[in-house]
Amino acid sequence: MWKSSAAVEPLAVDEVGAIDDFSLPYRQTLRWERPSDPPACPTAFLGQVQYPRPGNTSLAWGARVEGQPVGILSIGVGDGEEGADIVHFFVHPDFRRRGIGSALMASAAQLLQGRRVLSASALVIDPETGSSSGEAFAEATGAVCRTRYQRLTLRIEAGSIDSGRDHPGYETLRWRGGVPPEYLPAFAQLSSSLAAEEAARSDSKRAPEKTDGEKIDALYKSLQMWGYRTYVSAVRHVLTGELVAYSSLGLAESHHRHASQWDTIVRPSHRGHGLGASLKRANMSWAMEHEPELTTVTAWNAIGNDAMVHVNESVGFRHDTGGAVWEWNVSGLT
């Protein structure tokens, strides 16, 4: 590996210009790496750094060669947690194999001492080779793969998504842009249970995230700042009034044909009735009423979560590529 010829420096995350300089090379990099995916949204790129997830603090470092922005590493550091998460990490393909990525990681590690783990999520694997530059870098720098994911994509044709079937004894609720205050505690409880289930399937050394109504409210406000249009459908058990399931998806500001399927969770005591598949269909159908250009939806499923893979496939999703969560030991990066 060549010695880095880049100048790496901390970025002022509260200054739009400091981060926005890296937006174009970031979008160019993703277009080069994932030519079949929709272009990266510049509003989301900037917003995810300036308005971090609830409970996180943003830190970022930029790499320049002769003043030209060529790479960035931004992370979210959770309050009171051992770990930190990579938000954006790229080096433009014209400037790789010069040690720039390693220099960015080393700069971050110097400020993360005392944090045990640095994680990166969903590095896409090339379906033809079974690997990616991101995975190769992770392995070369000592990261450990904790969870494997597969990405599934739904191609929507006219009339191909119905509104889902009715389930006697259950009522469907729909929200745009957030969750009403009266449902925040139950929604947070479901979200925490989903995180616990995912952690049980992972080899991660980090504890599953626990959330509450305040964090859920703050999360959806952050998503708005990132430019996302969000759609949530939930199921309430009529007899008890209990919120027992929800499914959510979002579209980035610059995306009109592509949506990302996010969480779908059904309370264990209410599983086995087809609520998950019906809820996904209902939420996508409802989103399409507001997003008439929508043609594709992508979802990520952890390898081993066969139940949710089955739900997605029953709706029409099909596997197209993969990814993983990698973890670095921070002390090994300096």
Q: Give the model confidence (pLDDT) of 118-155 as tens digits.
A: 888 756 665 555 557 788 888 888 898 888 899 999 99
Range from 204-208, 241-245, 278-282 carrying the lowest mean pLDDT: 204-208
The pLDDT score that the predictor gives to residue 138 is 87
Distances (CA, A) of 36 to 115, 262, 288, 312, 321: 36, 20, 22, 21, 11
The pLDDT score that the predictor gives to residue 94 is 94
Looking at the structure, tell me whether residues 83 and 22 fall in a common domain: yes
**Residue that terminates a domain, selected from 84, 115, 146:** 115
Looking at the structure, tell me whether residues 315 and 198 fall in a common domain: yes
Range from 139-143, 197-201, 208-212, 275-279 carrying the lowest mean pLDDT: 197-201
Which CATH number belongs to the domain containing residue 291 in this structure? 3.40.630.30
Residue 248 covered by a domain: yes
The pLDDT score that the predictor gives to residue 205 is 65
Instruction: Evaluate if pTM is beyond 0.85.
Output: yes
Residue 138 covered by a domain: no
Residue 145 covered by a domain: no
Q: Are strands 296-302 and 258-266 parallel, antiparallel or unpaired?
A: parallel
Looking at the structure, tell me whether residues 101 and 239 fall in a common domain: no
Looking at the structure, tell me whether residues 196 and 289 fall in a common domain: yes
Residue 149 covered by a domain: no
The predicted model gives 57-71 an average pLDDT of 95
Residue 327 covered by a domain: no
Amino acid identity, position 23: S
Q: Which residues contact 17 (CB under 8 A, 6 or more apart)?
A: none
Looking at the structure, tell me whether residues 108 and 229 fall in a common domain: no
Looking at the structure, tell me whether residues 235 and 305 fall in a common domain: yes
Distance CA 175, CA 190 (A): 16
Looking at the structure, tell me whether residues 180 and 246 fall in a common domain: yes
In the beta sheet, which residues pair with residue 302? 149
The pLDDT score that the predictor gives to residue 128 is 57
- Helical H segments across 63-159, by residue range: 100-111, 133-140
Q: Pick from 41, 12, 184, 202: which is nearest to 117 by CA?
A: 202
Residue 2 has pLDDT above 50, yes or no: no
The pLDDT score that the predictor gives to residue 165 is 66
Q: Which residues contact 188 (CB under 8 A, 6 or more apart)?
A: 211, 212, 213, 215, 216
Distance CA 151, CA 297 (A): 10
Residue 123 covered by a domain: no
Amino acid identity, position 70: V
Residue 120 covered by a domain: no
**Residue that terminates a domain, selected from 115, 145, 166:** 115
Looking at the structure, tell me whether residues 179 and 254 fall in a common domain: yes
Distance CA 264, CA 285 (A): 15
Q: How confident is the model at residue 225 (pLDDT cuts 50, 70, 90)?
A: very high
Looking at the structure, tell me whether residues 201 and 297 fall in a common domain: yes
Residue 292 has pLDDT above 80, yes or no: yes
The pLDDT score that the predictor gives to residue 323 is 87
Looking at the structure, tell me whether residues 207 and 302 fall in a common domain: yes
Average pLDDT of the chain is 88
Looking at the structure, tell me whether residues 164 and 216 fall in a common domain: yes
**Residue that terminates a domain, selected from 67, 84, 115:** 115
Residue 240 covered by a domain: yes
Helix or strand (DSSP H, E) at 289 = helix 275-290
Residue 158, exposed/middle/buried by CB under 10 A (0-12, 13-18, 19+)? Answer: exposed
Q: Give residue 137's region: left, alpha or beta (phi > 0; psi -120 to 50).
A: alpha
Distance CA 62, CA 10 (A): 6
In the beta sheet, which residues pair with residue 75? 59, 86
Looking at the structure, tell me whether residues 58 and 163 fall in a common domain: no
Q: What total of structural domains would you count in the chain?
A: 2
Instruction: Name which residue leads in pLDDT, 114 or 143.
Output: 143
Q: The domain containing residue 74 runs over which residues?
A: 7-115
